[in-house]
């Protein structure tokens, strides 16, 4: 089916020498909720009057269950489209973080819109700069996208669907906004601790160095240098972070555990 | 029809005291071509098997006539969608430039895809980082979006449609990539010249200061301070810029003309 394994196409990858403790990852539903919380803009797909697809730029707010809230003018094609046919899909893409656009995380939510009420108005105004200026204009309609399908892509080779129920029940990662700073701090000032985590907790006792490539509520992603080649690994926190401020303590605990 | 003119909703705007030379602006087709040339990523709207719209992230290259070239896997929903129904729409958004997402320029191209040939393959590989890695994979299809409709939005209150013919015949702004640096330089080092342009060429002989807010192949946009309030204005180059390097000379000519 796939010819993606191009011979000679990648560097050799070092396998763990010893079994590492499995480290929990964010679910697709959690990744989707984190993407929605990370930006207030996306691409709406709606249906034009001849049934053809129409892609347009929208700002959105978010209800507590993750339902996106749109506010669009009937003077614009997407506003007329939603009035005529409620089927819609919203794409949200993580802000660019490198030269390769397809390495970016993104999520597609698909379903149908319903008219929004006071909670939708509040969510829109809270989520969208200048939203309060036009939310009450007579030609603007508030719509809630009732999510029926969720498809998350985390970059190359990372993708999964989530059920509407899991999406609604999940929450955005509380450490998402502080993760980049924490990763930079770990790499700048705590390279030894990262190497020790790779040795003691990620299955590479011969690690010579490790770099943190990501942090989330459940743990850290590492790139690990060994005499056998480069490896990737993940080390899990003792407890999931429940707030942005928990990331520091969770990482300190990891470093202590690596040296115990 | 519209209640957008909110009483007290905006600052007072100073009208020109004398008639200013009309200054050419980029057409909607030119704005669209510039947006396409400015980034290689967009949002595709395609039709899922039940006819509902599906919004997905894509990278694209561009043919000489501005037709976007996509390369998508049939393992992904959008790839299957395009195979089953060629109708598609591509949204391209200018990179963020401030806190308000709806101030961003964007364009929607709508039409139908056709299979791409060697020229499409070359355009895709030239336009998309890592595109050469997967362009020949067996599950990937090259598609050219044949543009039938073009809708450009330049931010609040600036929008227009363009015909497919005008879109194909237009070219991206050659000074787009150097404009931001030129604007910063003008504001940092040539505030007197900008004020003189506002006085002599933009119809505000009592201007006390002017700031450049944008530059394109045809001229400069200004925000002008006067004792009567703040105004916006535009001053046009003697000749359109044909290359990035022409911006400096065209601006020097404007400054000379303002002081003649």
- Considering only CB atoms, A43 lies closest to which of B47, B91, B95, namely B91
Q: Assess if CATH 2.30.110.10 describes domain B28-169.
A: yes
pLDDT of residue A4: 61
ipTM attached to this prediction: 0.91
Whole-number average pLDDT of chain B: 93
Domain boundaries, chain B: 28-169, 175-259
Please give the pLDDT value at position A57: 97
Chain B partners within 8 Å of A138 (Cβ): 2-3
- Chain A nearest CA to B188, separation (Å): 29
* Partners of residue B230 on adjacent β-strands: B13, B225
pLDDT digits (tens, 9 = 90+) for A224-245: 999 999 999 999 999 999 999 9
Nearest-by-Cβ selection for B99 from A47, A100, A129: A129
- Residue A10 confidence (pLDDT): 54
Angle at A79 between CA B147 and CA B172, to 5 degrees: 35
Three-state DSSP string of chain B: CCCCCCCCCCCCECCCCCCCCCCCCCCHHHHHHHHHHHCCEEEEEEECCCCCEEEEEEECEECCCCCEEEEEECCCHHHHHHHHCCEEEEEEECCCCCCCHHHCCEEEEEEEEEECCHHHHHHHHHHCCCHHHHCCCCCEEEEEEEEEEEEEEEECCEEEEECHHHHHHCCCCCCHHHHHHHHHHHHHHCHHHHHHHHHHHCCCCCCCEEEEEEEECCEEEEEEEECCEEEEEEEECCCCCCCCCHHHHHHHHHHHHHHC
To the nearest whole Å, the CA of A13 is away from the closest chain B CA by 19
User: Which tokens is A105 given?
Assistant: 């995380």
**Rounded distance between C-alpha atoms, residue B98 and residue A141, angstroms:** 25
Q: What pLDDT band is residue B96 in, cutting at 50, 70 and 90? A: confident
Interface test with B, best of A44, A53, A127 (most B CBs within 10 A): A53
Residue A41 has pLDDT above 80, yes or no: yes
Range from A187-191, B133-137, B166-170 carrying the lowest mean pLDDT: B133-137
- pLDDT (mean) for A184-188: 97
CATH homologous superfamily for the domain B175-259 = PNP-oxidase-like (3.20.180.10)
Nearest residue to B55 (alpha-carbon basis) of A2, A248, A100, A111:
A111
pLDDT confidence of residue B71: 97
Portion of chain B with pLDDT greater than 70, in percent: 95
Q: CB-CB: which of B6, B100, B133 is closest to A130?
A: B100
With cut-offs at 50, 70 and 90, classify the pLDDT of residue B12: low
- Tens digits of per-residue pLDDT, A135-161? 999 999 999 999 999 999 998 878 999
| Average pLDDT score over residue span A92-101 | 84
At residue B206, the pLDDT reads 97
Dist. CA B90–CA B108, nearest whole Å: 6
Cross-chain residue pair B52–A128, CB shorter than 8 Å: no
Q: What is the pLDDT of residue B209?
A: 97
> Residue B89 and residue A54: Cβ atoms within 8 Å?
yes
Cross-chain CB nearest to B55 (options A44, A134, A153): A44
Q: Inspect the interface and report whether the beta carbons of A57 and B139 lie closer than 8 Å.
A: no
Work out the pLDDT band at A54, boundaries 50, 70, 90.
very high
* pTM as predicted: 0.92
> Which residue in A156, A251, A151, A147 sits closest to A197, CA to CA?
A251
User: Would you call A91 and B51 a contact, using CB atoms and an 8 Å cutoff?
Assistant: no
Question: What's the average model confidence in pLDDT over B184-193?
Answer: 97
């Amino acid at each position: 089916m796939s010819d993606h394994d191009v011979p000679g196409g990648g560097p050799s990858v070092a396998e763990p020498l010893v079994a590492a403790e499995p480290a929990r990852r964010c679910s697709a539903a959690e990744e989707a909720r984190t993407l929605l919380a990370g930006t207030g803009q996306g691409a709406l797909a709606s249906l034009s009057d001849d049934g053809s697809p129409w892609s347009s730029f929208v700002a959105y707010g978010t209800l507590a269950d993750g339902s996106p809230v749109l506010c669009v003018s009937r003077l614009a094609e997407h506003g007329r489209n939603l009035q005529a046919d409620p089927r819609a899909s919203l794409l949200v893409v993580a802000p660019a973080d490198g030269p390769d656009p397809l390495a970016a995380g993104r999520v597609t939510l698909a379903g149908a819109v319903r008219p929004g009420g006071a909670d939708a108005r509040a969510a829109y105004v809270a989520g969208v700069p200048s939203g309060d200026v036009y939310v009450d204009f007579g030609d603007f309609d508030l719509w809630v996208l009732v999510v029926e399908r969720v498809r998350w892509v985390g970059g190359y080779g990372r993708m999964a669907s989530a059920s509407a129920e899991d999406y609604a029940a999940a929450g955005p990662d509380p450490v998402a906004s502080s993760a980049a700073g924490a990763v930079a701090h770990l790499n700048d000032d705590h390279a030894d601790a990262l190497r020790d985590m790779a040795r003691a907790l990620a299955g590479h006792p011969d690690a010579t160095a490790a770099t943190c490539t990501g942090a989330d509520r459940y743990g850290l992603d590492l790139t690990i240098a060994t005499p056998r080649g480069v490896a990737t690994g993940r080390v899990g926190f003792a407890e999931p972070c429940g707030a942005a401020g928990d990331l520091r303590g969770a990482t300190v605990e990891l470093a202590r555990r690596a040296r115990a």
